[in-house]
Structure 1
Amino acid sequence: MTGSEAVLSRPVGFPVRSRQGRRILVATVLGASIAGIDASVVTVALPDIGRDLGASFASLQWTVTGYTLSLASLILLAGGLGDRYGRRRIFLAGVAVFTLASVLCAAVPDVRTLVGARILQGVGGALMAPASMAILQSTIAPGDRPVAIGTWSGFAGIAGVLAPFAGGWLLSLGSWRWIFLINVPVAVVVLVVSLRHLPETRDEGSSGMDWGGSALAFAALAAATYALTVLPAEPTRPWGWGSAVVAVGAGAGFAWYERRTPSPMLPAAALGSRPFVAINVITFVIYGAFAVFSLMFTIALETVAGYSPAEAGSTMVPVTVLSLALSRLSGRLAARIGPGPQLTIGPVLCGTAALLALRVGPETGFWSVAIPLECVFGLGTATMVAPLTSVALSSLPGGHVGVASAVNNTVARTAGLVWVAGLPPLVGLTGDSYTQAGEFLPGYRLVCVVCAAAMFVSGAIAAAVRSAP
C-alpha cells in the first residue's frame, strides 16, 4: 500500500519493525530533524550573518523571532488542519514550504528579505511539527507507539547535536548561506518517502477551523514582538507604541473570540484549570529564559571569547547528550517520587549555569569554563523537562491530552519569541553591539543575571506544583 492509495480515518497499526512501519518512522523522523537542524545552525551563524548583511542587533533578533513567531502562532491551527484535511497532506505541505523557504534564506540580498524567508520557514515548521507526531500516533501499532515516539525524539535530538558541527564546517568554507541548504537534500528524501509510502489519515469527527483565533493570535504576537524589539531602544518611536496598542487589542480580542467561537483553538477547559494555567506560566518563564540565555551565550563565545562558530556550537553538545541520556530516567523518577523535587532542582541547576556564564571573557577556556557550565545546564534541563511536560499533560481535566500538549508546546515557543525579542534591548543590546566585545559584555552579563533569577523563582514556584491524579 502506498500513501496515495488509501485514506484512513483510524489507526492502521503498523508494527515499527515492519517495512511500512520503518518507512513511516524514517519520513517523520527526518521531517522533524530538518527543523531542529535549522534552529541550531542559525544561532551559531548570527554574527557572520550580521557582519555580511550589515544588520543591526534588532534585525538579527528578527531572524530568530520571525521563525518562532509564525511557528508559535500557527502550530495549534496546523494541528487542526491535519486532523481535518489529512495529516500526510499537511506534513508534505510543511516540508515543501520549509524547503522553499530554506532556499530563499540562502539567496537573500538583505536582512529584511532574510526575516521574511524565516517567517515562511516557521509556517513550514508549524505544518510539519504536529502532523509528524499525529502520523505516528495514527499509523503505528498502539503497543509500538512509545518506541516510535522515543525514536522520533532521540533522532531529532541527535540532529541537534550534529547541526553545530555541520554548520561550523560550512561557515568555515566562507559563507553562512550554505547552512540553510543543509535541509534541502534531507527534505527531498522526506518528500520521496512520504509520497510513496505514507498512508493518509484524518479525524472524521474534526470540527471547523479557528481561522479567526489564529489571525488574532498572529497579530498579537507579531505586534508584541515588534514593540518589544523597538521601544527599549527608541521609546519615542510612534510605530512602537502603535504596535503595543495593537498587541493589547488583538490579545483581548483573541480571549473574547475564543470564548464565543464554536471551534476554539484554546478550549475553555484550558483557561478554567488553575493547575494547567500555573504550569504554563512556569513553562513560559523557564523556556523564555532558556531561549534568550542560549542565544546570548553562543554570541558571547564568538564575540567576547573569540570562539569559531564550530567551537561555539559544539558547547551545546553536553545539553543535548545529557537530555537524551537522562530524560527517560528523569521521567521514571518523577513518576515514583512526584514532580515537585525535580521541578525545583532543575531550574536551580540551570540558574546556576547562567551565573557561571558570567565568567565568559576574552580568555574563556573551552574545557575549564564553557563545557562545565553547559554540563550543569544540561543536567538541569534533563532533570526538569520530563516532569514539567508530564504535569502539563496531566493537569487539564477531561483527558484532553492532545490539547494540553499543543497548548504547552505553543506556550514554550511563544516564551522564546517574547524573551528573545524583549530582553536584549531592555539591557542595552542594540545596533551593532554584538560585534564589539566591550559593548556586548555588560548587557550579556545582565541577561545572565536576569535569566538566573527567573529560573530560581520558577523553581521556587514549581516546588508547589503537583501533577493531576
Structure 2
Amino acid sequence: MNSNEQRWVLGLSSLGSLMVALDALVVAAALTTIRHDLGASIAQLQWTVNAYSLSFAMLMMVAAVLGDRWGRRRTFAAGLALFCAASAACALAPSAAWLIAARAVQGVGAAVVMPLAVGLLGAAFPPERRGWATGIFSGVTGIAVLSGPAVGGAVTEGLAWQWIFWINVPVGLVAVPLVLRFVPESRGTARPVDVRGAALISLAVLGLVWGVVRGEAAGWTSVEVLGALTGGAALALAFLAWETRAAAPLVPLSLFRSRVFSAGNAAGFLLTAALYGAVFFMAQYMQTAYGSGPFRAGLQLLPWTATLFLVAPLAGRLVDRIGERPLVVGGLLLQAIGLFWVSRGADHYSALVLPLVVAGCGVSMAMPAAQSVSLSAVPRPAVGLASGIYSTARQLGGVVGVVVLSAVFAAAGGYGSFLTAFGRAIAVGGVLSTLGALAGLGIATRSETGAARPELVEERG
C-alpha cells in the first residue's frame, strides 16, 4: 500500500473514531435539557446514555468478524452510514423512548465503525510504522472522549441539544463516499459467522453490563442485579465452552494463550475504566468547585486533553523504537499519580494544571501502546478480530469505570458532599490505573520479541 493510500486510511479511520468516541459522552451535558424537552424520567435519562454503550459493547466482536469476511472498507462505510442515520433519528426524537431506541441503533453503528477502523489501520501499516499510526489514531480518539461533555455543553448552550446529533450527518455524507473511493479493501481470513457464539457473548455482555450499570440504583443484592450478573456469568462460561468446540469460533481462544495479547487487553480495559470514570466527573467538578459553565469547564480541561494531541503521536513513534511495555506501564503509573493528585482537590484551579498534565501525558503514552501490542501479538490476517476483542474490552472498561466511580461517589455522599465524594471517586480511578500498570508488566519487551512477531500476508480485496 502506498503512502497516499495510508494517509487516507489514517485520516478516515481517525474521523470515524472521532465521531464514535465523541458521542459516547457528548450527551451527558445535555441531559437536563433533554429531560425538560421530552419529559424524561431519571431512568430514561440513564438509558439515553447506557443504550449506546450496551449495543456498542455487545456487537463489536461480531462486526470485526463480518468485516474480515465481507471486506473491512465496505463494512466500515456501512457502519458510518448507519451511525449517521441513527444520529438523525436521535435529533428528530419526539419522545424519550424514541431517543433511547435511536441511541441503541447508533451504538450498533459505532460497534461496526470502531473495530473496523482499527482493523483498516492494522492492514494498511507495516509493523515498523503501525505504532506511529495508532498513536495519531489514539490521540484523536482520546481527545474525542475527553472533550465530549464540553462539546455537548457548548453545542447545547449555543444551538440546541438536537445539534449534538445533527453534526454527525453532514460529516457522514462526506466521509462515506471518500472511504469507498480512497481506502483500499482488505480482508482477514474468511470464516463462517459463529451465530451461536455471537448470541451467547452478546447476551453475556448484556447481562454483565446491565448488572453493573443497575447495581447502585437497584441494589447490589437485589434480584435484578444478582440475576443479571449470574446470568451473564453463566452465559459467558457457556460461550467459552462453545468456542472450544465450534468449527469456526467467533473468538479463537488460542489468541489468549499469548501472554502479550492478554496483558495488552487487560491494560486497555483498566486504562479506559479509569479514563472514562474520571471524565464523567471532571467537568462536573470544574462547574461545582469553581463555578464554571460547561464551555469554560471544557477549556479548563485543556491541560489534560491537549497532551493527547501532542504526546500520543510521539508515544506511537517510541513504540516502534523501544516496544510497548515501558509506555504502557509508565503511562498508566503517570495516570495514577495524576489522578491521585487531582483527588486531593485544590482551592484554586491553577493548582490542578500540573496534575492534569501528568495524567494526560500518562494516558497519551499508554493508549497507543496498549492498542499496538494487542494488534502486533497476532498474525496479520487476525488483526480485524484482535481489534474487535480489544475494542470490546476497552468499551466495557469505560462502562465499568463510570459505574464503579459513580458507586464510590454515591457511597461517599454524592452531590450532597460533592467535593469529598469526588475525591474518593477519582482516587479509585488512580487505583484502576495502578492495576493497569501491573497488567502491563505481562507485555514482552522488545528484546524478548525481536523480529519474531507473527506477521502474515493477508488476502487483499
Q: TM-score, normalised by structure 1?
A: 0.80
CA–CA distance in 2 between the matches of 1:147 and 1:462? Answer: 20
Who is 2:434 aligned against? 456
Who is 2:200 aligned against? 216
Say yes or no: does 1:372 pair with 2:357: no
1:41/1:77 Cα in 2 relative to 1: closer, same or farther (>3 Å)? same
Equivalent of residue 213 in structure 2, options 202, 215, 229: 229
Query: Residue 430 of structure 2 aligns to which amino acid in structure 1?
Result: A
Who is 1:356 aligned against? 341
The structural deviation recorded for 1:183 is 0.8
> Which SS does the other structure have where 2:216 is aligned?
coil
- For the aligned residue pairs, the C-alpha RMSD in angstroms reads 3.7
5+ residue gaps, structure 1, are 1-12
CA–CA distance in 2 between the matches of 1:311 and 1:57? Answer: 26
1:49-448 matched pairs, under 5 angstroms:
49=34, 60-135=45-120, 166-173=151-158, 175-194=160-179, 197-198=181-182, 201=185, 203=187, 205-235=189-219, 237-333=222-318, 336=321, 339-360=324-345, 365-369=348-352, 371-396=353-378, 400-425=382-407, 427-428=409-410, 437-448=415-426
1:293/1:24 Cα in 2 relative to 1: closer, same or farther (>3 Å)? closer
Deviates more, 1:374-383 or 1:336-345: 336-345
Alpha carbons 2:271, 2:367 under 8 Å: kept:
no
Query: Residue 262 of structure 1 aligns to which amino acid in structure 2?
Result: A
1:419/1:56 Cα in 2 relative to 1: closer, same or farther (>3 Å)? farther
CA–CA distance in 2 between the matches of 1:346 and 1:148? Answer: 18
Q: 1:134-186: per-residue Cα shift (whole Å, max 9, x none)?
A: 45666799999888766656666676687666534322236322211111111
Query: Residue 273 of structure 2 aligns to which amino acid in structure 1?
Result: G
1:348/1:48 Cα in 2 relative to 1: closer, same or farther (>3 Å)? farther
1:141/1:231 Cα in 2 relative to 1: closer, same or farther (>3 Å)? closer
Query: Residue 440 of structure 2 aligns to which amino acid in structure 1?
Result: A
Who is 1:32 aligned against? 17
> Which SS does the other structure have where 1:231 is aligned?
helix
CA–CA distance in 1 between the matches of 2:396 and 2:371? Answer: 16
CA–CA distance in 1 between the matches of 2:218 and 2:253? Answer: 38
Alpha carbons 2:138, 2:367 under 8 Å: kept:
no
CA–CA distance in 2 between the matches of 1:290 and 1:417? Answer: 11
The structural deviation recorded for 1:355 is 2.4
Query: Residue 294 of structure 1 aligns to which amino acid in structure 2?
Result: V
Alpha carbons 1:327, 1:383 under 8 Å: kept:
yes
The structural deviation recorded for 1:75 is 1.6
Query: Residue 199 of structure 2 aligns to which amino acid in structure 1?
Result: A
Deviates more, 1:315-324 or 1:162-171: 162-171
Matched residues, number: 446
Query: Residue 377 of structure 1 aligns to which amino acid in structure 2?
Result: A
Deviates more, 1:197-206 or 1:271-280: 197-206
Q: 1:283-304: per-residue Cα shift (whole Å, max 9, x none)?
A: 3222212211211222333345
1:115/1:302 Cα in 2 relative to 1: closer, same or farther (>3 Å)? farther
Who is 1:4 aligned against? none
1:175/1:24 Cα in 2 relative to 1: closer, same or farther (>3 Å)? same
CA–CA distance in 1 between the matches of 2:127 and 2:257? Answer: 31
> Which SS does the other structure have where 2:410 is aligned?
coil
Deviates more, 1:351-360 or 1:144-153: 144-153
Query: Residue 224 of structure 1 aligns to which amino acid in structure 2?
Result: L
Q: 1:402-433: per-residue Cα shift (whole Å, max 9, x none)?
A: 44443222211111122323442354279xx9
Q: 1:321-359: per-residue Cα shift (whole Å, max 9, x none)?
A: 322322343344455555554434322321222223335
CA–CA distance in 2 between the matches of 1:302 and 1:158? Answer: 20
Deviates more, 1:325-334 or 1:140-149: 140-149
CA–CA distance in 1 between the matches of 2:69 and 2:322? Answer: 40
The structural deviation recorded for 1:439 is 4.9
CA–CA distance in 2 between the matches of 1:399 and 1:204? Answer: 4
1:173/1:446 Cα in 2 relative to 1: closer, same or farther (>3 Å)? same
> Which SS does the other structure have where 2:217 is aligned?
coil
Query: Residue 213 of structure 1 aligns to which amino acid in structure 2?
Result: G
Alpha carbons 1:273, 1:397 under 8 Å: kept:
no
The structural deviation recorded for 1:384 is 2.3
Q: TM-score, normalised by structure 2?
A: 0.81
1:29/1:376 Cα in 2 relative to 1: closer, same or farther (>3 Å)? closer
1:426/1:144 Cα in 2 relative to 1: closer, same or farther (>3 Å)? closer
Deviates more, 1:198-207 or 1:173-182: 198-207
The structural deviation recorded for 1:451 is 1.5
1:135/1:399 Cα in 2 relative to 1: closer, same or farther (>3 Å)? closer
Alpha carbons 2:143, 2:308 under 8 Å: kept:
no
Query: Residue 182 of structure 1 aligns to which amino acid in structure 2?
Result: I
> Which SS does the other structure have where 2:162 is aligned?
helix
Query: Residue 448 of structure 1 aligns to which amino acid in structure 2?
Result: I
Query: Residue 416 of structure 1 aligns to which amino acid in structure 2?
Result: G
CA–CA distance in 2 between the matches of 1:358 and 1:162? Answer: 20
5+ residue gaps, structure 2, are 450-461
The structural deviation recorded for 1:124 is 0.5
Alpha carbons 2:87, 2:168 under 8 Å: kept:
yes
Query: Residue 177 of structure 1 aligns to which amino acid in structure 2?
Result: Q
The structural deviation recorded for 1:267 is 0.9
The structural deviation recorded for 1:389 is 3.1
Query: Residue 122 of structure 1 aligns to which amino acid in structure 2?
Result: G
Query: Residue 185 of structure 1 aligns to which amino acid in structure 2?
Result: P
The structural deviation recorded for 1:208 is 0.6
1:271/1:307 Cα in 2 relative to 1: closer, same or farther (>3 Å)? same
Percent of aligned positions with the same letter in both sequences? 31
